[in-house]
Amino acid sequence: MSSTLFTPLTLRSGAVIPNRLAKAAMEENMAATGQLPGDTLVRLYERWGSGGAGLLITGNVMVHAEALTGPAGVVLDDRSPLEPFRRWASAAKSGGAKVWMQINHPGRQVRADMPGVAWAPSPTRIDIGRNSKRFATPEAMTASQIADTVERFVTTARRAEEAGFDGVEIHAAHGYLLSQFLSPLSNQRTDEWGGSLQNRARLLLDIVRDVRAVVSPTFAVAVKINSADFQRGGFDVDDAAKVIAMLDPLGVDVVELSGGSYEAPAMTGQAADDRTRSREAYFLTLAEELAQASPLPLMLTGGIVRRPVAEEVLAGGVAIVGMGSALAVDPDLPNKWRTDADAKVELTPVGIKDKAVASAAGMARVRRQLRLIGAGRPTRPNSNPKVALVVETVRQEQALRQYRKWLRKRAA
């Protein structure tokens, strides 16, 4: 029998996802004091949990307290109290959905004004033209720092299970640290972590292997990779196929496909390749290529807002349909699709020529919706993205001051 959007999916770990619709990770940057999930995040996920998606994947939870994608990032390490995370997991699961924690390290994709560290496989800063100076110049990681990073991912995964999450998703896409190691553009190393794809994938494979070893057999372990970087000479669809094959024997349940990085932000619809669609299911053509030979179930995320497109994704061999912005606008969209195949959300395109700024403004507009939902208020999806970006910038400056104070107190 062919799968439908509302057919359960049994994973190789034995876990069962109630249906094929997932709330994909979006970088909320909404941590409360102490870089912890607070009331707003709890209410947001409780709301998503009642909306009908079978799986909720959190936004970035950082494995290294001194390396955040943004100053309001949530941190879960060996010093974090677990009770706020237990509340978060419980709220997300209250409507019957499974909840996975996305765990991540930004590597070089950190702001220049952030305290802490900027690590990367090689000491090359992000190149986004005149905005490049906004990002830190990274240092090439030592063998000791690489080993510590593996242990940080393992610690966060183990503690996520203790807190009641059903799984973790290891983020190796979008130009973050593990994606930086995978890319031949950002990884210029000549040691055991550089050169061949096998070497460039070593850090990811070590993390997956060690995470799988410390969590329960029924705890899901997923990995998010780029279907392509959309940069000439970068990680491409053939590399993605080979990495999926490398992950297969390590006990991975699902591989989520996305694409792009801060340098080529295809994940926000700023497409840079004729194999991405301009409006919906950005990476479907690439996903269909990968699904033909993939030994693992695939999840596809990127711009899906209509049920017929979601069904087309399933028909292409993908097992789970991920939605981000659509569920930031309407958390009830999965439930609506059960009875109304024409239900959809409308997102006005961001009319900014600079792709990096357009990406940031689009994300700022999405984060505004998340805060509205977390406050129990209706969303405003067509609010001005430029205004949203200004407001977000002010919020980030406030969060940066709090983060600096927290790090100093932690180090004392």
Q: What is the pLDDT of residues 30-59, one digit of tens each?
A: 999 999 999 999 999 999 999 999 999 999
pLDDT at 132: 82
pLDDT at 269: 43
Task: For residue 210, give both structure tokens.
Answer: 């060690």
pLDDT at 127: 81
Q: What is the distance between the alpha carbons of residues 383 and 391, in angstroms, rounded to a whole number?
A: 12
pLDDT at 34: 97
Measured on CA atoms in the order 184, 188, 191, 195, is the torsion positive or negative? positive
307: pLDDT strictly greater than 70: yes
In angstroms, what CA-CA distances link 227 with 86, 296, 326? 33, 14, 21
Over range 167-184, report the average pLDDT: 95
Over range 271-279, report the average pLDDT: 42
Amino acid letter for position 123? P
pLDDT at 268: 43
Q: What is the distance between the alpha carbons of residues 215 and 160, in angstroms, rounded to a whole number?
A: 9
Strands (E), 61-198: 61-62, 74-75, 98-104, 119-120, 139-140, 167-172
- Percentage of the chain beyond pLDDT 70 is 92
Q: What is the distance between the alpha carbons of residues 97 and 10, in angstroms, rounded to a whole number?
A: 14
pLDDT at 246: 97
Are 270 and 303 spatial neighbours (Cβ–Cβ below 8 Å)? no
> How wide is the angle at C-alpha 238 spanned by C-alphas 232 and 241, nearest 5°?
140
In angstroms, what CA-CA distances link 322 with 27, 190, 273, 403? 14, 36, 21, 31
Q: Is 83 buried (19+), middle (13-18) or exposed (0-12) by CB count in 10 A?
A: exposed
Q: What is the distance between the alpha carbons of residues 293 and 101, in angstroms, rounded to a whole number?
A: 27
122: pLDDT strictly greater than 50: yes
Are 186 and 130 spatial neighbours (Cβ–Cβ below 8 Å)? no
**Predicted confidence (pLDDT) per residue in 53-82, tens digit:** 999 999 999 999 999 999 999 999 999 999
Q: How many helices (H) and strands (E) does the chain have?
A: 13, 14
Q: What is the mean pLDDT of the chain?
A: 90
Contact partners, residue 268, CB within 8 Å, separation at least 6:
260, 358, 359, 362, 363
Are 16 and 220 spatial neighbours (Cβ–Cβ below 8 Å)? no
pTM to 2 decimal places? 0.93
φ, ψ of residue 233 to 5 degrees: the values are 85, 5
pLDDT at 274: 43
pLDDT at 263: 52
Are 38 and 324 spatial neighbours (Cβ–Cβ below 8 Å)? no
> How wide is the angle at C-alpha 56 spanned by C-alphas 372 and 45, nearest 5°?
35
Q: Helix (H, G, I), strand (E, B), or coil: what is residue 17?
A: strand
- Percentage of the chain beyond pLDDT 90 is 75
Listed residue (160, 173, 205) closest to 63, CA to CA: 160
φ, ψ of residue 359 to 5 degrees: the values are -65, -45
Q: For each of the domains in the chain, give its residue range(s) and CATH number, in order of start.
A: 9-344 (3.20.20.70)
Amino acid letter for position 14? G
Helices 385-411, 355-374: inter-axial angle, 10-degree rounding: 80
Measured on CA atoms in the order 230, 236, 237, 243, is the torsion positive or negative? negative
* Of the candidate ranges 21-25, 150-154, 267-271, the one whose mean pLDDT is the lowest: 267-271
In angstroms, what CA-CA distances link 217 with 110, 170, 250? 34, 17, 12
Q: What is the distance between the alpha carbons of residues 300 and 224, in angstroms, rounded to a whole number?
A: 10
Over range 199-227, report the average pLDDT: 96
Are 341 and 39 spatial neighbours (Cβ–Cβ below 8 Å)? no
Over range 112-130, report the average pLDDT: 91
Q: What is the distance between the alpha carbons of residues 194 and 171, in angstroms, rounded to a whole number?
A: 19
Higher pLDDT, 331 or 235: 331
278: pLDDT strictly greater than 50: no
Over range 374-402, report the average pLDDT: 93
pLDDT at 230: 56
φ, ψ of residue 270 to 5 degrees: the values are -85, 70
How confident is residue 265, by pLDDT bands cut at 50, 70 and 90? Answer: very low
How confident is residue 333, by pLDDT bands cut at 50, 70 and 90? Answer: very high
Listed residue (291, 293, 219) closest to 251, CA to CA: 219
**Predicted confidence (pLDDT) per residue in 123-160, tens digit:** 988 887 787 888 899 999 999 999 999 999 999 999 99
Are 180 and 127 spatial neighbours (Cβ–Cβ below 8 Å)? no
Write down the residue that tokens 């999840």 correspond to. Answer: 299
Q: How far apart are the first and last CA of the chain?
A: 60
